[in-house]
Amino acid sequence: MIRVRVPATCANLGPGFDALGLAFNIYNTVEVQKIHSGLIIEGCDKKYKNENNLVYTSMNKVFQLANYKPSGIKINIKSNIKESSGLGSSSSCIVAGVFAANEIANSRLTKVELMDLAVKIEGHPDNVIPAIYGGLIISMIDEGKIYFKKISIDKKIKFYILTSDLQKCSTKELRKSLPKYILLKDGVFNLSHSLMLVEALRDGDFDLIEASSKDRFHEPFRKKNIKGYDEIYKKAMECGAKALVISGAGPALLGIFNDGNIDEFKNYLHGLENSWDIKKCDVDDVGVIVENNI
């Protein structure tokens, strides 16, 4: 049996829309084995127990490239990353699928080739690459080629993920609410802020994190889908947050703290509608882990 563990990821980090992503120690684990025939999928909602399952369709892409035909496949999904929550659940399924299939097909593709394929399937690199390599990743695509850099983060920065039961939408749907064009001044704003944010995270410069984590590309539009966002943001700052950004397309949020009053913030969140909760998370610096013959 093959076991693949993939971390959750927060994409964008405010101004780094489609370019920045960070992996955390929340994991989806997928176990895959060859069986005599057919397809068995366990551990997920009934609606995903079929040939359209994202882990399975991603596996098939590798099988096609490797010209490999398994007799049958059994997949068991242990999910801790909620679907469409803004924490890279689709990316985790895709990454798990391509890495598991590569083991079954005798590792014919390299890690970089698997990354290319996973980004192609997912559409955006900012969740997929940190899910594979861990840590804070800057990525870009130029003439179809993917480039990325892993940036170290100052250890004193504390990250908190905020979740709720707010209605989740697919990223594809949520991208439709974004403008097609942006003003040059907003482009300059995001460019300068995202460059500065990377340095601020590297240095643990909290004043700079606070100034540079603002965004004009997606958060002004997406926050409308997150009921109470402005009040939550205000309270986070009152409780000492240095930043509160939308994780990916939301509705999860990512709080960045030095020393804040987390208990007060937590009590406030627990008093809100929509079952808001907050959890301290550590950066996953490892990325995908594949175990074979277990």
CB of 106 to ligand HSE, least distance (A): 32
In this chain, which stretch among 10-18, 130-138, 258-266, 285-293 interacts with ligand HSE, using CB under 6 A? 10-18
3-state secondary structure the chain: CEEEEEEEEEECCCCCCCCEEEEEEEEEEEEEEEECCEEEEECCCHHHCCCCCHHHHHHHHHHHHHCCCCCEEEEEEEECCCCCCCCCHHHHHHHHHHHHHHHHCCCCCCHHHHHHHHHHHHCCHHHHHHHHHCCEEEEEEECCEEEEEEECCCCCCEEEEEECCCCCCCHHHHHCCCCCCCCHHHHHHHHHHHHHHHHHHHHCCHHHHHHHCCCCCCHHHHHHHCCCHHHHHHHHHHCCEEEEEECCCCCCEEEEECCCCHHHHHHHHHCCCCCCEEEEECECCCCCEEECCC
Site for ligand HSE in 115-134 (CB under 6 A): 124, 126-127
Residue 197 Cβ, how far from ligand HSE at the closest point, in Å?
15
Per-position x/- string for 149-188, each x denoting binding to ligand HSE as judged by CB under 6 A, each - no binding: ----------------------x---x-------------
Shortest CB 11 distance to ligand HSE, Å:
4
249 binds ligand HSE (CB under 6 A): yes
Question: Which residue, 53 or 85, is less far from ligand HSE as judged by CB?
Answer: 85
Least distance to ligand HSE from the beta carbon of 18, Å? 4
Among 248, 251, 255, 287, binds ligand HSE (CB under 6 A): 248
Q: Is 215 in the site for ligand HSE (CB under 6 A)?
A: no
Pick between residue 1 and residue 182 the one whose CB is nearest to ligand HSE: 182
* Residue ranges binding ligand HSE (CB under 6 A): 11-12, 17-18, 124, 126-127, 171, 175, 218, 248-249
